[in-house]
């Protein structure tokens, strides 16, 4: 009986050895096939030359400042792809993108914000400050802060006067920031760029009385009045 078991075991061992050998050979082949595939890639560093916010006077040429790019310690600035479509005759916001791709095909993009502004515009700091918002669902002190970014470009952190941030209790994520300019006569203003969780808004019927801004914010068929009064 023991002799029979011994013979059966020997046959089993002889059969399994080739299987193990084939498995080991396949494993080694796989290692050779994948050798050198995993490696480190160096991402490019890219930065703007000049300011992120760039102002162009209406009707004057835009001079491209460019960007610097490095792959490791190698200067690859000449490989930066610049895309822009600026109409210097029309006031507005025009983004300029700068794209660089490394040898492994990994890309990185940065953006410059170009604002074309009319020559006849205010450059006064009088509009900078904290504002009370009068909107459809209440009056809210400290609703909006307006900053003069320089050369007549202004930024409001919430052009809807805290209607959603405070009035609806949605919090800071529902502020509507805006970049705008004030006309030279100080009687009106125009938004260049707005943003919100729902996308951009249109600023309709803007009027300026001293340092009080009045307008409607419109998106689709919805429109709401806003008054910002400097504190």
For the segment 99-120, what is each residue's pLDDT rounded down to a tens digit?
999 999 999 999 999 999 999 9
Report the alpha-carbon distance of residue 225 to residue 214 in Å, rounded.
Answer: 8
* Nearest residue to 227 (alpha-carbon basis) of 108, 117, 144: 144
Report pLDDT for 15: 52
Higher pLDDT, 49 or 28: 49
Mean pLDDT of the chain: 89
User: To 5 degrees, how large is the angle CA 96–CA 56–CA 84?
Assistant: 20
Domain ranges of the chain: 44-117, 129-230
pLDDT of the residue at 4: 43
Tell me which long-range contacts 138-144 makes (C-beta under 8 A, separation of at least 24): 138/166, 138/167, 140/166, 140/167, 141/231, 142/231, 143/228, 144/228
How much is the average pLDDT of 201-211? 98
pLDDT band at 35 (very low <50, low <70, confident <90, very high): low
Residues 195 and 178: their CA atoms lie apart, in Å, by 7
**10, pLDDT greater than 80:** no
CA geometry: angle 126, 132, 136, nearest 5 deg: 135
Is it the case that residue 12 has pLDDT exceeding 80? no
Q: How confident is the model at residue 36 (pLDDT cuts 50, 70, 90)?
A: low
Q: pLDDT tens for residues 52-81?
A: 999 999 999 999 999 999 999 999 999 999
pLDDT at residue 3 tops 70: no
The Cα 113–Cα 92 span in angstroms is 10
**In this predicted structure, which of 10-24, 168-182, 198-212 has the lowest mean pLDDT?**
10-24
Amino acid 37: pLDDT: 61
Closest of 79, 34, 53 to residue 181, by C-alpha: 53
pLDDT at position 217: 98
Q: Could you tell me the fold of the domain covering 44-117? A: Immunoglobulin-like (2.60.40)
Flag the least confident range among 7-11, 40-44, 105-109: 7-11
Asked if pLDDT for residue 170 goes beyond 70, the answer is: yes
Among 211, 222, 215, 136, CA closest to 178: 215
Radius of gyration of the chain (CA): 32
Does 188 score more than 60 pLDDT? yes
| In the chain, % of residues over pLDDT 70 | 84
Q: What is the mean pLDDT of residues 1-18?
A: 48
Residue range 28-36: mean pLDDT, rounded: 49
């Amino acid at each position: 009986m023991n002799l029979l078991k011994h013979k059966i075991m020997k046959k089993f061992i002889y059969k399994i050895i080739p299987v193990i050998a084939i498995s080991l050979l396949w494993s080694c082949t796989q290692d050779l096939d994948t050798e050198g595939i995993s490696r480190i890639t160096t991402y490019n560093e890219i930065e703007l030359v000049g300011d992120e916010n760039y102002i162009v006077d209406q009707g004057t040429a835009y001079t491209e400042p460019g960007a610097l790019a490095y792959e490791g310690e190698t200067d690859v600035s000449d490989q930066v792809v610049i895309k822009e479509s600026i109409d210097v005759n029309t006031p507005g916001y025009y983004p300029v993108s700068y794209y660089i791709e490394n040898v492994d095909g990994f890309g990185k993009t940065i953006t410059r914000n170009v604002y074309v502004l009319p020559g006849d515009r205010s450059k006064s700091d009088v509009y900078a400050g904290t504002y009370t918002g009068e909107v459809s669902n209440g009056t809210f002190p400290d609703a909006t802060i307006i900053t003069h970014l320089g050369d007549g470009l202004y930024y409001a952190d919430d052009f809807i006067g805290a209607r959603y941030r405070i009035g609806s209790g949605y919090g800071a994520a529902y502020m509507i920031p805006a970049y705008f300019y004030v006309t030279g006569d100080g009687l009106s203003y125009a938004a260049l760029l707005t943003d919100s969780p729902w996308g951009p808004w249109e600023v309709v019927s803007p009027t300026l009385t001293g340092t009080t801004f009045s307008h409607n914010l419109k998106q689709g068929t919805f429109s709401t009045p806003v008054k910002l009064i400097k504190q």
